[in-house]
């Protein structure tokens, strides 16, 4: 089920799914606390893009100034960690 909102660093962020330009698949807007994901993506790409935009939201909120390459690296690593270890994040939540 697609989330309509997420809580990131204690703040509610809206998540919208809509058509976007050909070369865009996601966007993070710190001022509006909004994430937009291109509608119609395959499930894996949608999930990966949402994770990517959440990393941007965290970086922007904390003033980390992560580069796009760093965000992409974290997205790839965290997505693989979750995919390869499906119980990992549920284990962390129990702690």
Rounded Cα gap, residues 22 and 38, in angstroms: 9
Q: Return the sign of the alpha-carbon dihedral for residues 67, 6, 41, 87.
A: positive
- pTM of the predicted protein model: 0.94
CATH code, domain with 51: 3.30.2010
Of residues 89 and 38, which shows the higher confidence score? Answer: 38
- The strand order across the sheet containing 26-29 reads 5-8, 11-18, 34-38, 26-29
Residue 3 has pLDDT above 70, yes or no: yes
- Name every residue whose Cβ is closer than 8 Å to that of residue 32 and which is 6 or more positions away in sequence: 14
Tens-place pLDDT, residues 51-63 = 999 999 999 999 9
How many structural domains does the chain have?
1
Q: What does the block give as tokens for 68?
A: 């796009």
Full residue range of the structural domain in which residue 29 is found: 5-94
């Amino acid at each position: 089920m697609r989330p309509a909102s997420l809580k990131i660093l204690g703040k509610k962020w809206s998540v919208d799914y809509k058509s976007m330009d050909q070369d865009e698949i996601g966007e993070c807007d710190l001022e509006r606390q909004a994430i937009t994901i291109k509608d119609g993506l395959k499930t894996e790409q949608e999930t990966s893009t949402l994770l990517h935009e959440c990393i941007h939201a965290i970086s922007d909120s904390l003033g980390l100034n992560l580069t796009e390459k760093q965000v992409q690296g974290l997205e790839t690593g965290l997505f693989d960690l979750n995919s390869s270890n499906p119980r990992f994040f549920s284990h962390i939540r129990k702690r």
